[in-house]
Structure 1
Amino acid sequence: MIVSDLFALPAFVAYLALGALYFVAFLVTYIWITPQREMALIRDGNLAAALSLGGAAVGFVQPLASAIAHSVSLLDLALWGLVAWVVQLLTHFVLRLVVRDLRSKIEGDVRSVALFVAVVAACVGAINAAAMSY
C-alpha cells in the first residue's frame, strides 16, 4: 500500500510546486498593481494593509485549491489557476471603484475598510472555487 502511494509522489510535487508558484506570482502581481506599498505598510505595523492583502491571498487560494483538487492535468490546473488570478484581480479593481479613495484608507490604517475589502475578496474566491467545481 505504501509503495503504491509513493507512485503519486511526483504528481503531488508537481501540483504543489505549480500551486506555490502561482501563489507567489499572484502576490507579486497583486502588490505590483495596488497603488499602496503593502509590504512597507505591513512592516510599519499597518493592520489594514495586512488585512486587505491577506483577503486577496485567501480569495485567490480558494479557487486555486479547488483547481488543484479537480484538475485532470497540470495544464488544466494552469488554465484554471489563471482564471482564479484574473477573477481576483478584477475583484480588486471593482473594489477600488466601490470604495472611495481605497489607497488612502489602507495607508491610513482604516481597518473597517480593509476588513470589508478582505471579506469581499474571500467571498468572491469562495464563489469562484465553487463555480470551478461545477
Structure 2
Amino acid sequence: MPAILNYLLHLFTAVALVLAFFVVYTRVTPYDEVLLVRQGNAAAALSLGGSLLGFSATIASSLVHTMDYYQFAGWAFGALVVQLLVYVIATRLLRMAKDQIEANNCAFGGLLGAISLSIGIVNAGCIS
C-alpha cells in the first residue's frame, strides 16, 4: 500500500476511534457532559477532557508500536475498554461523582480527568 494511503487509513481510523470513544464514554456517564460543557461546567470539561487525552495517548502509542493495522485496531479497542473500566471503578469508589460534576466541582472534575489521563499514559506505556 502506498505510504499516503497507509497514513490516511491510520489517521481516519484513529479519529473514528476517538469519536467512538467520545460517544460511548458520554453514554456511560450518568450525566450529559456535552450539555454541561455547553452550560459552562468546567468540572465536566475537565473530566471529559482527561478521558479523551488518556484514550488518545494509548491510540498514539499503538500507532507507533504496532506492526499492522489489525494490531493497532486491537490495542485501540483494548484502550477503550480500559478507559471505561477505570471510569466505572473510579466513580464507584468516589460515590458522589454525578453530584459533584453536576455541581461544577472543578477539583472533582480535575481528579477524574487526572485519573483517566494517568491510566491512559500507563496503558500507552504498556504497549511499547
Cα distance in 2, alignment partners of residues 42 and 119 from structure 1: 18
Counterpart residue number, 1:109: 104
Of 108, 120, 124, 1:125 maps to 120
Amino acid at match of 1:16: L
Counterpart residue number, 1:4: none
Point out where structure 1 has 5 or more consecutive residues left out of the alignment.
1-6
Point out where structure 2 has 5 or more consecutive residues left out of the alignment.
none
Superposition CA RMSD, Å: 0.7
Q: Which has the larger radius of gyration?
A: 1
How far residue 114 of structure 1 moved from its aligned partner, in angstroms, is: 0.6
Cα distance in 1, alignment partners of residues 93 and 118 from structure 2: 16
Amino acid at match of 1:58: L
Amino acid at match of 1:52: S
Amino acid at match of 1:12: Y
TM-score, with structure 1 as normaliser: 0.93
Percent identity of the aligned residues?
32
Amino acid at match of 2:8: V
How far residue 99 of structure 1 moved from its aligned partner, in angstroms, is: 1.2
Q: How many residues align?
A: 127
